[in-house]
Amino acid sequence: MKKNKPITYVMAEYKYACYIRDELKESGPILYPSEQASKQHRDGTWLLLTIEGGRLGTVSPNGTVRLT
């Protein structure tokens, strides 16, 4: 099994924003995560959080976005 290379926060934020725009067809302003509040797990998956700690979603190293 091939191990995925970890992604950066910027890459995870981009994947999240693209998912909101392309898959959910949101055209207005979207709620962006906070880099300081978000956390990266050992497997490379990013947990995207708002500045207040609200969960927005996760982005796996292969780019899969899941909203929470």
Kindly report the backbone phi and psi dihedral angles of residue 53, in degrees, each rounded to the nearest multiple of 5, phi listed first: 95, 5
Q: Residue 4: left if φ>0, alpha if ψ -120 to 50, beta else—which one?
A: beta
Return the amino acid letter for 49.
Answer: L
User: Rounded CA gap, 1 and 13, in Å?
Assistant: 26
Domain ranges of the chain: 9-67
> Sheet containing 55-59: which strands, arranged edge to edge?
39-40, 46-49, 55-59, 65-67
| pLDDT for residue 1 is more than 70 | no
How many C-alpha atoms does 14 have within 13 Å on its Cβ side?
7
Q: Has this prediction a pTM greater than 0.75?
A: yes
**Tell me: the pLDDT tens digits for 35-46?**
999 999 999 999
| pLDDT for residue 65 is more than 70 | yes
